[in-house]
């Protein structure tokens, strides 16, 4: 996909506030319908305060999460189940568009939401769940219990944000966790963001001023595990570029294989250039790579970061871009570091080829923060990490987003039905849980030179409102055997290798 020309320090444009909706994709969750109207929007004469009051009177839809309700899916049924779960994502995105298109009518007649949008959505969910049941029954002989109960969505007053947006997570990324520093970061996000409120403007579906915090108001909060005797202290760094060639797509070959626009947001890709929704292991093994070491054909991808500056990209009318409420000028990172590190408790073993790992949760706003694992900071302040706020960096400092991937493997599977249970994070003492073994841990550090202050955000599913806690990263290991042996040898031998 082509890209518009870059303007490093674009002036933030005033943006009209349009409809916003919080809708869960992946088959369930909380759907908050917020109907905002700007003073300059045709057909409405309400001041912003009245429009926002009307929004708060709207309803939230509580839908069961089909993805988490199906933890054990037979291997042979997974392709069809994955396709149906992705179809349910698309159904919710379509419902989001219906809400946005009818925002004025719904603000006057909330019953229209049920009759014209939510009722048809439930019918589509019922059909998808029925197909999931047939697929599993065909392989396992028994239909999963309780599928029928996952289709219905209940209405309630819109008095909660869906959970998850305020949490600091469990400290898996760089030892960060809740505590004094995290609390001050949250307080600072409220105060620092409000100062910027009107200048920033609010995108129709996020982010908003309170999503930002002055990094200088956050106390140091990084606490890394102590290295034990026998720890693997080496590192291996692979250089794969910064996506200078502009490889983007809104697919997710791990979570939604075989489904175009399975992510509903745009990804940056480095490494394997064959990666899209339809790439199998053979395609990846034969794919070209941007990595300097040709033995690394792995794929590394994450949501793009955009300036909310009123500048359109070429994807403004495309899936994953404007069609999914992701607009603004895509930023090429100024630096990308992909480093594999060891275990603080012992030696590591080779990770299997084609191992798939997702870290973080693209739906944390509605799923809760249990799997949130990205963190945000600024150069010169990286002992201060944020999970649920974007940083406002001082002049001369750049924005940093970091991902520390799961470092323990079950020794058998390269993937799992929920794409999580075959890998795990180390425990607080650095050891792997029972039944898991330590593998090289991928640590990603992505740096951006963006204008100081609020005005940027990661791409997200429409209902996730571009919240920083929804950030996530994906990795498929396509190291050849020789290079993987070198990675393990360097890490276990306390060497720094490239």
Determine, yes or no, domain membership for 8: no
Looking at the DSSP assignment, which residues form a beta bridge with residue 61? Answer: 31, 155
Determine the 3-state secondary structure of 96 from DSSP: helix
Looking at the fold, whether 387 and 347 belong to one and the same domain comes out as: yes
Q: What is the mean pLDDT of residues 291-303?
A: 97
Choice among 133-137, 240-244, 349-353 with the minimum mean pLDDT: 133-137
pLDDT bucket at 158, cuts 50 / 70 / 90? very low
Looking at the fold, whether 358 and 476 belong to one and the same domain comes out as: yes
Q: What is the mean pLDDT of residues 257-282?
A: 96
- pLDDT recorded at residue 424: 97
**With 70 as the cut, is the pLDDT of residue 5 above it?**
no
Q: Could you list the beta-strand ranges (E) of 242-345.
A: 248-249, 267-271, 299-303, 305-307, 329-330, 335-341
Looking at the fold, whether 128 and 191 belong to one and the same domain comes out as: no
**With 60 as the cut, is the pLDDT of residue 34 above it?**
no
- pLDDT recorded at residue 63: 64
Q: What is the mean pLDDT of residues 403-425?
A: 95
**With 50 as the cut, is the pLDDT of residue 383 above it?**
yes
Looking at the fold, whether 89 and 232 belong to one and the same domain comes out as: no
The pLDDT tens digits for 36-74 are: 222 223 333 334 343 343 334 343 455 666 876 777 888
Q: How far apart are CA 175 and CA 184, in angstroms?
A: 17
Q: For the residues of 305-334, what is the DSSP string, one character each?
A: EEE-SS---TTTTSTTTGGGT--SEEPPPS
Task: For residue 444, give the nearest of 251, 323, 302 by alpha carbon.
Answer: 302
Looking at the DSSP assignment, which residues form a beta bridge with residue 375? Answer: 402
**With 80 as the cut, is the pLDDT of residue 393 above it?**
yes
Q: How far apart are CA 424 and CA 409, in angstroms?
A: 6
Percent of residues, the chain, with pLDDT higher than 70: 76
Task: For residue 445, give the nearest of 281, 270, 274 by alpha carbon.
Answer: 270
- pLDDT recorded at residue 30: 38
- pLDDT recorded at residue 314: 94
Looking at the fold, whether 96 and 238 belong to one and the same domain comes out as: no
Determine, yes or no, domain membership for 246: yes
Determine, yes or no, domain membership for 167: no
Determine, yes or no, domain membership for 397: yes
Q: How far apart are CA 209 and CA 257, in angstroms?
A: 35
Both structure tokens of 6: 């870059």
Task: For residue 393, give the nearest of 332, 450, 442 by alpha carbon.
Answer: 450
- pLDDT recorded at residue 56: 40
Task: For residue 20, give the nearest of 203, 277, 235 by alpha carbon.
Answer: 203
The pLDDT tens digits for 166-188 are: 333 333 433 333 333 333 333 33
Determine the 3-state secondary structure of 105 from DSSP: helix
Looking at the fold, whether 147 and 185 belong to one and the same domain comes out as: no
Are the CB atoms for 387 and 166 separated by under 8 Å?
A: no
Average pLDDT along the chain? 80
Domain hosting 201: range is: 180-497
Choice among 66-70, 78-82, 266-270, 468-472 with the minimum mean pLDDT: 66-70
Determine, yes or no, domain membership for 162: no
Q: How far apart are CA 333 and CA 282, in angstroms?
A: 29
- pLDDT recorded at residue 46: 38
Place of tokens 């600072």: 188
Looking at the fold, whether 49 and 184 belong to one and the same domain comes out as: no
Return the higher-pLDDT residue of 151 and 260: 260
The structural domain count of the chain equals 2
Determine, yes or no, domain membership for 4: no
Determine, yes or no, domain membership for 6: no
- pLDDT recorded at residue 62: 54
The pLDDT tens digits for 424-445 are: 999 999 999 999 999 999 999 9
Looking at the fold, whether 152 and 187 belong to one and the same domain comes out as: no
Q: Of 108, 142, 157, which marks where a domain is finished?
A: 157
pLDDT bucket at 131, cuts 50 / 70 / 90? very high
**With 80 as the cut, is the pLDDT of residue 143 above it?**
yes
For strands 496-497 and 235-238, give the pairing: parallel
The pLDDT tens digits for 213-247 are: 999 999 999 988 788 889 999 999 999 999 999 99
Choice among 186-190, 234-238, 279-283, 362-366 with the minimum mean pLDDT: 186-190
Task: For residue 274, give the nearest of 79, 128, 97, 476 by alpha carbon.
Answer: 476
Choice among 94-103, 246-255, 365-374, 464-473 with the minimum mean pLDDT: 94-103
Are the CB atoms for 252 and 264 separated by under 8 Å?
A: no
- pLDDT recorded at residue 82: 87
Determine, yes or no, domain membership for 115: yes
Helix (H) or strand (E) holding 194: helix 180-200
**With 50 as the cut, is the pLDDT of residue 100 above it?**
yes
State the alpha helices, DSSP H only, in 347-480.
364-367
Q: Of 157, 172, 200, which marks where a domain is finished?
A: 157
- pLDDT recorded at residue 19: 28
Q: Of 157, 192, 218, which marks where a domain is finished?
A: 157
> Other CB atoms closer than 10 Å to residue 367's CB: what's the count?
24
């Amino acid at each position: 996909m082509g890209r518009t020309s870059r303007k490093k320090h674009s002036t933030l444009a005033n943006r009209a506030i349009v409809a916003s909706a919080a809708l869960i994709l992946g088959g369930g969750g909380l759907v908050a319908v917020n109907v905002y109207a700007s003073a300059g929007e045709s057909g409405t004469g309400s001041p912003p305060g009245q429009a926002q009051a009307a929004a708060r009177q709207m309803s939230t839809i509580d839908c069961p999460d089909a993805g988490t309700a199906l933890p054990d899916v037979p291997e042979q049924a997974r392709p069809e189940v994955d396709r149906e779960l992705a179809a349910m994502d698309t159904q919710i995105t379509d419902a989001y568009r219906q809400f946005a298109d009818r925002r004025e009518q719904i603000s006057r007649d909330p019953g229209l939401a049920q009759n014209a949008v939510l009722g048809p959505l439930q019918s589509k969910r019922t059909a998808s769940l029925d197909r999931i049941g047939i697929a599993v029954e065909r392989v396992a002989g028994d239909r999963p219990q309780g599928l029928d109960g996952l289709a219905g969505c209940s209405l309630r007053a819109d008095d909660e944000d869906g959970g998850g947006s305020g949490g600091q997570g469990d400290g898996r990324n760089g030892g960060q966790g809740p505590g004094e520093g995290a609390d001050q970061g949250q307080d600072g996000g409220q105060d620092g963001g409000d100062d910027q409120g009107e200048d920033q403007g609010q995108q129709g579906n996020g982010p908003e001023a309170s999503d930002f915090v002055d990094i200088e108001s956050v106390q140091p909060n990084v606490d890394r595990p102590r290295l034990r005797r026998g720890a693997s202290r080496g590192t291996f760094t692979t250089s794969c570029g910064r996506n200078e060639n502009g490889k983007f797509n809104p697919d997710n070959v791990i979570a939604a294989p075989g489904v175009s626009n399975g992510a509903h947001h745009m990804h940056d890709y480095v490494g394997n250039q064959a990666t899209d929704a339809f790439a199998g292991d053979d395609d990846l093994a034969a794919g070209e790579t941007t990595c300097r070491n040709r033995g690394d054909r792995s794929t590394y991808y994450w949501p793009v970061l955009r300036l909310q500056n009123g500048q359109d990209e070429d994807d403004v009318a495309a899936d994953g871009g404007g069609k999914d409420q992701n607009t603004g000028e895509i930023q090429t990172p100024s630096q990308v570091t992909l480093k594999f590190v060891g275990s603080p408790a012992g030696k590591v073993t080779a990770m299997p080829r084609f191992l798939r790992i997702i870290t973080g949760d693209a739906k944390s706003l509605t799923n809760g923060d249990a799997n949130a694992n990205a963190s945000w900071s600024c150069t010169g302040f990286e002992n201060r990490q944020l999970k649920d706020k974007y940083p406002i960096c001082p002049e001369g400092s750049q924005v940093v987003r970091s991902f520390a991937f799961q470092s323990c493997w079950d020794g058998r599977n390269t993937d799992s039905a929920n794409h999580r249970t075959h890998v795990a994070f180390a425990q607080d003492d650095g050891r792997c849980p029972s039944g898991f073994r330590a593998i090289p841990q991928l640590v990603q550090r992505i740096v951006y030179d963006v204008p100081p202050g609020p005005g940027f955000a990661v791409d997200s599913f429409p209902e996730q409102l571009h919240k920083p806690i929804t950030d996530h990263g994906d990795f498929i290991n396509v190291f050849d055997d020789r290079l993987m042996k070198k990675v393990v040898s360097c890490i276990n031998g306390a060497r720094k290798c490239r």
